[in-house]
Amino acid sequence: MTVKIDIVSGFLGAGKTTMIKKLLGGEVLGNGIAIIENEFGDISIDSNRLEESGIEIKEISSGCICCTLSGDFQKAIKELIKEHNPNRIIIEPTGVGRLTDIISIINVIKESEDIELNMVMTIVDVLEFEDFIDVFGDFFIDQIQYANIIAISKTQLTDELRVNSVIGSIRKINSNANIIATPWDELEARDILDVVKSSILNEDTCLYDGHCCNHGHHHDHNHEDDSANTFDYYSFETMKIYSHEELAYILSSLKNPIYGKVLRAKGFLLDADRKWVDFDFTPSNYDIRKGRVKTIGQVAVIGKDLNINSIRNLFD
């Protein structure tokens, strides 16, 4: 039986895990699903968020599957096939890798395993698009150029003019991909699957109501051909209690350049009522919400030229 391989790619904080949860929650993908989760650092926050799905998850952490962990990635796919015999494997790569590198590795695996590349989706944050194109250039473009589906996130937080502008820019990079730009709270898993099927059949589809759809650890990560794109990472575990106001202040403060260029922060912490909260930060917005019960609080921060001591003091 041929195993379908789906990739849900996208830059830091775009919404990859949220999209996977939406697909799983809609129960449209059938049974026999497994997930490979590639966390950039050594704390598995996204894997933790997917655990409630009850689906088999293999974690590959402390690196990027497109370069240093290529062997681990190949091993993970082969082990999943051998041990769990899935119908479908969903891969969530770290947000700082090239999509082409991941596709190349899958093509190598195809030589020895009965797999087929099915959905190649890239999530694009509409609020960060222009900045990321300017700052991270080639490999951000690579994620867009080689996708067959592009899902634009956070469209509910901006206006139609901006969404249409981003769609137009995406079309200049990738004229063939099907685009989803409907606000995600209005989007059903079945809608997404219909776009996936259209993409595989090479049918031009754009799902949007607008009018322009005609078409405590620290390490670095550096792609050899992207020497300017070196990312810093800081993480820690804690049982410290934070009030909602304290956490909101911390997250809003991360925009300040004294902490470096913070691109992504995520985690879960105890609040003043001793309830668990999840949080996410990108430069354009942050979110604090009710979380599931955890055993210990975890925080991960990713960026460029991070001032680790200042970030540590901010959370202390």
pLDDT tens, position by position, for the chain (316 residues)?
A: 899 999 999 998 999 999 999 999 877 787 899 999 987 767 778 888 887 667 888 888 655 555 555 788 888 899 999 999 999 999 999 888 789 989 999 999 999 999 999 999 999 999 999 998 888 888 899 999 999 999 999 999 999 999 999 999 999 999 999 999 999 999 999 999 888 887 766 655 555 555 444 445 444 444 444 433 578 999 999 999 999 999 999 999 999 999 999 999 999 999 999 999 999 999 999 999 999 989 999 999 999 999 999 999 999 9
Rounded to whole angstroms, what are the CA distances from 53 to 7, 26, 56, 309? 18, 11, 9, 36
Residue 54 shares a structural domain with residue 180: yes
Residues 195 and 226 in one domain: no
Q: Which residue has the tokens 């769609």?
A: 167
Range of the structural domain that residue 27 is part of: 3-207
Sequence-separated (6 or more) residues with CB below 8 Å from residue 95: 9, 10, 11, 12, 13, 14, 16, 40, 264
Spatial contact of 300 and 265, defined as CB atoms under 8 Å apart:
yes
| One domain, residues 193 and 274 | no
Residues 31 and 155 placed together within one structural domain of the fold: yes
CATH code for the domain in which residue 265 is found:
3.30.1220.10
d(CA 271, CA 268): 9
Name the pTM for this structure: 0.86
Please check whether residues 128 and 254 belong to one and the same domain: no
From 188, 207, 226, the end of a domain falls on: 207
Number of independent structural domains in the chain: 2
Neighbours of 295 (CB within 10 A): 7
Note whether 8 and 106 are same-domain residues.
yes
- In single-letter form, the type of residue at position 176 comes to N
Q: Give the whole-angstrom CA distance, residue 223 versus residue 64.
A: 10
Indicate whether 203 and 226 sit together in one domain.
no
Q: What is the pLDDT of residue 244?
A: 96
Which CATH number fits the domain that encloses residue 49? 3.40.50.300
Where among 185, 207, 229 does a domain terminate?
Answer: 207
- Is there a domain that residue 170 lies in? yes
CA distances from 9 to 97, 111, 143, 248 (A): 9, 23, 7, 28
- Out of 160, 183, 207, pick the residue that ends a domain: 207
Is 212 within the bounds of a domain?
Answer: no
Are 118 and 159 in the same domain? yes
Cα separation, 147 vs 29, in Å, equals: 19
Same domain, 49 and 170: yes
Question: Is 92 found in the same domain as 26?
Answer: yes
**What angle do helix axes 189-200 and 16-25 make, rounded to 10 degrees?**
100
Assigned domain for 148 exists? yes
pLDDT value, residue 66: 52
Say whether both 25 and 155 belong to one domain: yes
**Contact present, 16 and 10 (Cβ < 8 Å):** yes
Residues 88 and 196 placed together within one structural domain of the fold: yes
222 lies in some domain: yes
